A = this chain, B = another copy of it.
């Protein structure tokens, strides 16, 4: 977001034009008329907005257009030329930095993992700069410029300011990360919360494309949730939003690190599942892979732990659906590796707890590799580049 020297700028500033570009970006190849309809504009406006974008190389006409049973003049499909520009997305965790290089359509071409030896700001900054530098070298092979960097951090992040207000994992307070990383990398940097970044990726390049109200629920080490309401990601007045992990599902349940009992996260997060298996069997379980294996081999305690987790998640999703009435909920995260172990419970608990037609909400799952978190960061960088506030 910072003014970085000689950075290439998107050749469009009007709200309508950036909305048109966004529509093409997220809703695949479209005819100009169809773009006009979906963006609520006239066909003329689309024609006028599209031309400079084609000239600048961001849009192309799809020559090999599939011709649906057409009457009248055949339509010319317009799509984004993903290869026109590249972006870097970075996910910072407590002990690792994951970087990806994506094109303008947020397709990953290269990924890099780097272990983090220290959580000091300077160490993280250096590691980030290293990863960005490596990916820029890779980028040379693609013949397109890298136009921005997105960094995703868990915790309380002010994207507008580009600061990390508080990160429990990194133990940072009020770090102006966008500015600092902008200096070390020489590129425009966008910083956002990791779950919100993932939500942006779904909104523009995933299962949320074209929807104005949906939710993303991540299952894994923690239980997170990104919300899109009225077409915009919810940020929360005080930096807190989407804390589905701390919705109470059982006041007499296990204690959560937040101090309450029976939070979704205290039942369905990886550590909670491992703990429950240990408490039931007395056997220490190393990691989730092991836990999944146990469950699949029929160990009752493991199966039961996953069933309870599924029920908690389903209830949490129902709570979101009851309050916001989203069109769709996308369940994602590393925890989905065990999806078959709790899919049924999620669905049953959701259906039972959803009120009235909130149950008509479409609940989907989407597998998630760890690089997807970094891809979310890239999505925020793309969003900032286009500077669409939608």
Chain A residues within 8 Å of B, Cβ to Cβ: 156, 213, 225, 227, 229-230, 232, 234-244, 246-252, 258-260, 315, 319-327, 352-353, 355-358, 360-361
Q: By the criterion CB–CB under 8 Å, are B358 and A243 in contact?
A: yes
Q: By the criterion CB–CB under 8 Å, are B243 and A355 in contact?
A: yes
Task: Report the 9 A-B pairs with minimum CB-CB distance, sorted nearest first.
Answer: A236-B325, A243-B322, A237-B327, A241-B325, A240-B358, A246-B355, A238-B357, A229-B229, A243-B355
7 A-B pairs whose Cβ atoms sit less than 8 Å apart in the complex: A156-B357, A225-B323, A230-B234, A239-B357, A240-B321, A252-B252, A258-B355
Point out the residues of chain B lying under 8 angstroms from A239, CB to CB.
Answer: 325, 357
Closest to A321 in B: B240
Point out the residues of chain B lying under 8 angstroms from A327, CB to CB.
Answer: 237-238
Bound-complex Cα distance A325 to B323 (A)? 13
**Of B234, B260, B319, which one neighbours A248 at CB under 8 angstroms?**
B319
Q: By the criterion CB–CB under 8 Å, are A325 and B229 in contact?
A: no
Bound-complex Cα distance A310 to B159 (A)? 36
Bound-complex Cα distance A356 to B155 (A)? 11
**A251-B250, A352-B260 in contact; A240/B322 too (CB < 8 A)?**
yes
Closest to A325 in B: B236
Q: By the criterion CB–CB under 8 Å, are A237 and B355 in contact?
A: no
**Of B225, B232, B352, which one neighbours A230 at CB under 8 angstroms?**
B232
List 13 additional A-B contacts (Cβ < 8 Å) besides A229-B230, A323-B324. Answer: A156-B356, A229-B234, A237-B327, A238-B327, A238-B361, A240-B321, A240-B322, A240-B355, A240-B356, A244-B323, A248-B249, A259-B352, A323-B323
Closest to A251 in B: B250
Closest to A229 in B: B229
Please tell me how many copies of the chain the complex holds.
2
Point out the residues of chain B lying under 8 angstroms from A323, CB to CB.
Answer: 225, 227, 241-244, 247, 319-320, 323-324
Point out the residues of chain B lying under 8 angstroms from A246, CB to CB.
Answer: 322, 353, 355
Distance to closest chain B CB from A227 (angstroms): 7
Q: By the criterion CB–CB under 8 Å, are A241 and B324 in contact?
A: yes
Q: By the criterion CB–CB under 8 Å, are A353 and B248 in contact?
A: yes
Bound-complex Cα distance A19 to B320 (A)? 31
Distance to closest chain B CB from A167 (angstroms): 12
Q: By the criterion CB–CB under 8 Å, are B357 and A247 in contact?
A: no
Q: By the criterion CB–CB under 8 Å, are B357 and A325 in contact?
A: no
Distance to closest chain B CB from A268 (angstroms): 15
Closest to A262 in B: B251
Q: By the criterion CB–CB under 8 Å, are A237 and B325 in contact?
A: yes
Q: By the criterion CB–CB under 8 Å, are A361 and B322 in contact?
A: no
Point out the residues of chain B lying under 8 angstroms from A322, CB to CB.
Answer: 240, 243-244, 246-247
Bound-complex Cα distance A357 to B173 (A)? 14
Q: By the criterion CB–CB under 8 Å, are B355 and A235 in contact?
A: no
Distance to closest chain B CB from A354 (angstroms): 8
Point out the residues of chain B lying under 8 angstroms from A240, CB to CB.
Answer: 321-322, 325, 355-358
Q: By the criterion CB–CB under 8 Å, are B319 and A247 in contact?
A: yes
Most buried by B among A213, A237, A238, A325: A237
Distance to closest chain B CB from A244 (angstroms): 7
Most buried by B among A322, A352, A353, A357: A322
Bound-complex Cα distance A242 to B321 (A)? 9
